[in-house]
Amino acid sequence: MQQSGKGGRHGWRFWAALGTLAVAGAAAAASPSRPAAAPHWRDGLAIQIWAYNDALKNKDAPSPVPKIDVPSALSRIKAMGVDQVEVMHVPGYSAAQMRTALDKAGMRAVSVQMDYDRMRDDLPGAIAAAKALGVSQVGISAIKIFGPQGYHLLNTADTEEAGEVLAKACASAQAAGMRTFLHIHGNDLHMLDGKTALDRIIDKAGGCFDIEADIYWIRSAGVDPVAFINKYGAKVTSLHLKDWKPAQGTALPFPPLGKGDLNLPAIMKAAQAAGVRHYIIEDESGDPDTQLPQSLTYLASIGK
């Protein structure tokens, strides 16, 4: 979903400035309400409909507002043999309208990403929207990626606030029969007085939320995705699957799975050992009809 601040949902053109960031600290214990068993990755396979954001096609000036023809996107994903998606807010589509489009397409939303600002400022509305969609989990897409000076690494005050926001979100989501997650974007993996920003958020929230590990942005922050998954273990309940290549100037390449530098077989092995439930392909290339089938073919070639 769209992240508040200039640069759009991921602000992807600004991430080339990321340096190598360290991960340290222990993972907090999982909530007792976590499902006991994880499905095979094929059963947990989904596609993030952000892939069909027409704004991604304009690499020079990406719009911060997603422009998605939802029925068309769902139809094209369904034609690839995938009937599960992760969704986010699309202007012009209420949660009820999105649910109607999903039902008409014979598809299911397993997860929804929300703006941090909405989860902080309109938690009842965010939870009601997630409930209307019928998802099992609702999460924050990113925390304060951009500040007045551009790309923003979280500071201690940010982590305190975020932990409080997530603690409240966990309680509200659990009361509605859902779990809460944080999508990892890399501006939360640097050290703050001996702990990563992420670990500070986990501590402040009492370890209540799950992690959606975006392996592209984790690697962009200089962290090995396998080490990250192994560290946080059962807290990692979702993956955003993308391959990775180094930035080319200000442009970030988004190759299909198997065409980048990530050790995807090792990542999938670690994820399945950790009990990951949702394997969500997120294609940000601007050419999903070409790249998504390539990614699906690659996954099938390495899947067990």
**pLDDT (tens place) for every residue of the chain, 304 residues total:** 334 333 344 443 333 334 333 333 333 333 435 555 667 889 999 999 999 998 776 655 555 677 899 999 999 999 999 999 999 988 889 999 999 999 999 999 999 999 999 999 999 999 999 999 999 999 999 999 988 888 899 999 999 999 999 999 999 999 999 999 999 999 999 999 999 999 999 999 999 999 999 999 999 999 999 999 999 999 999 999 999 999 888 788 999 999 999 999 999 999 999 999 999 999 999 999 999 999 999 999 987 6
Contact status, residue 35 vs residue 68, Cβ threshold 8 Å: no
Contact 165, 142 (CB under 8 A): no
* Vertex 165 angle, CA 111 and 225, to 5°: 55
Beta strands, E only, 16-153: 45-48, 84-88, 108-114, 137-140, 146-147, 150-151
Where helices occur in the chain by DSSP H, the ranges are 70-79, 95-105, 116-121, 123-133, 156-175, 197-204, 215-220, 225-232, 264-274, 288-302
